[in-house]
Amino acid sequence: MLEQNLKQRSLGDLLILFAASERNLALSKLYKQGAAVIQQNKNQLEKVEKAIVEKRGNAFQEKNKLPHV
Asked if residue 54 lies in contact with residue 46, where contact means CB atoms within 8 angstroms, the answer is no
Distance CA 30, CA 46 (A): 19
pTM of the model: 0.74
Query: 7: pLDDT confidence band, cut at 50, 70 and 90?
Result: confident
Closest CA to 9 of 54, 59, 44, 61: 54
Closest CA to 44 of 10, 20, 63: 20
Given a cut of 80, whether residue 63 has pLDDT beyond it is: no
Given a cut of 80, whether residue 20 has pLDDT beyond it is: yes
**pLDDT-above-90 percentage for the chain:** 64
* Arithmetic mean of pLDDT, 13-28: 95
Given a cut of 70, whether residue 3 has pLDDT beyond it is: yes
